[in-house]
């Protein structure tokens, strides 16, 4: 039991947004939990993209490391013809509404992955890029970062970023638009399963202030309860906008690093801004 300091509730270190190899991260769920414990994290949610495959291993590792694990997932959702990310926390993983939602998302991901592979075979002059991504990821529905790694290994891109820019981003030759679940339906499933719906990284969508507020009106009406406010790398103006949203909407603050890999040397699990004293914290909903 490493995390003795977790008994002290004041200034407790947490991370409610990170990824393992069960989606597009590079550590196994147990490696990730061990790294979180080493980094002094007391409360952790593993939020892999549209899958719960890493949750059981993470829960076992968390129990042995003295970390409190909250169930988690990062859902790709659609709203107003855009793709947004919604983190869900503290739901019952076995609830049928959750199981059905994840199955539907996995099916969409698998069809998308097969189509990305077919497009890459043509656009990048590859053979079997879908199968290569399956092998590399050990998943039937590999996300785009796995295709980026396949492209880099094949010498078709300098690095993952270049692979995204050249082939995988919207507008590029191997991009495939995907029918993700509507945000209101995703929120409804998460709430039925007793969980909390969080808008992930609100400032990564290119929203104007007005558009963000329009989204939040609808998100709250649908049952959304939290906003990811404590994330690394925001400037003062961005933090002020999120504070304003917390003030004007009935939303709690969540936070997380969005850690994917130790190679992202500028990120660490649990290394997020401290909550302000007056901030309504998501822990109140997870108790």
Which residues contribute to the site for ligand AMP (CB under 6 A)?
Answer: 24, 49, 76, 143-145, 160-161, 164, 169, 260
Residues 204-263 that bind Mn ion (CB under 5 A): 258
Q: Which of the residues 59 through 98 are near Mn ion (CB under 5 A)? A: 74, 85
Q: Does 15 interact with Mn ion (rule: CB under 5 A)?
A: no
Residues 16-35: x/- map of binding to Mn ion (CB under 5 A)?
Answer: --------x-----------
**Nearer CB in complex with Mn ion: 3/51:** 51
Instruction: Please write down the long-range contacts of 260-269, taking CB distance under 8 Å and 24 or more positions apart.
Output: 260/18, 260/19, 260/24, 260/25, 260/26, 260/145, 261/25, 261/26, 261/27, 262/26, 262/27, 262/35, 263/26, 266/232, 267/232, 268/39, 269/15, 269/18, 269/32, 269/35, 269/36, 269/39, 269/41, 269/44
Angle among Cα 115, 119, 120 to the nearest 5 degrees reads 115
Smallest distance from the beta carbon of 79 to ligand AMP, in angstroms? 15
Which partner in Mn ion, ligand AMP, none is near 169 (CB below 5 to 8 A by kind)?
ligand AMP
**In the complex, what is the shortest distance from the CB of residue 282 to ligand AMP, in angstroms, rounded to a whole number?**
21
Q: Choose from Mn ion, ligand AMP, none: what does 160 bind? Cβ within 5-8 Å by kind.
A: ligand AMP
- Provide the binding-site residues for Mn ion, judged by CB under 5 A: 24, 74, 85, 258
């Amino acid at each position: 039991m490493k995390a003795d300091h977790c008994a002290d509730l004041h200034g407790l270190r947490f991370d409610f947004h990170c990824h393992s190899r069960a989606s597009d991260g590079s550590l196994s769920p147990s490696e990730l939990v061990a790294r979180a414990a080493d980094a002094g994290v007391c409360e952790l949610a593993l939020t892999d993209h549209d899958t719960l495959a890493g949750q059981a291993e993470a829960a076992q590792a968390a129990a042995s490391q003295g970390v409190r694990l909250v169930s988690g997932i990062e859902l790709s959702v659609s709203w107003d013809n855009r793709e947004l990310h919604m983190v869900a926390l503290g739901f019952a993983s076995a609830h049928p509404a959750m199981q059905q939602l994840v199955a539907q998302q996995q099916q969409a991901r698998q069809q998308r992955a097969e189509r990305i592979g077919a497009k890459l075979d043509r656009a990048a002059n590859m053979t079997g890029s879908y199968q290569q991504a399956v092998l590399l990821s050990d998943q039937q529905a590999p996300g785009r970062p796995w295709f980026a790694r396949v492209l880099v290994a094949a010498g078709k891109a300098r690095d993952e970023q270049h692979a995204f820019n050249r082939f995988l981003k919207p507008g590029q030759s191997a991009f495939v638009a995907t029918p993700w679940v509507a945000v209101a339906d995703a929120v409804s499933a998460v709430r039925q399963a007793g969980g909390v719906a969080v808008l992930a990284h609100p400032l990564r969508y290119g929203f104007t202030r007005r558009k963000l507020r329009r989204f939040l009106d609808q998100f709250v009406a649908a049952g959304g309860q939290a906003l990811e406010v404590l994330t690394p790398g925001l400037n003062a103006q961005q933090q002020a906008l999120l504070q304003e949203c917390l003030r004007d909407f009935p939303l709690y603050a969540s936070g997380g690093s969005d850690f994917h890999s130790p190679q992202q040397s500028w990120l660490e699990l649990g290394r997020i801004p401290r909550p302000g004293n007056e901030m309504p914290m998501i822990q109140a909903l997870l108790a």
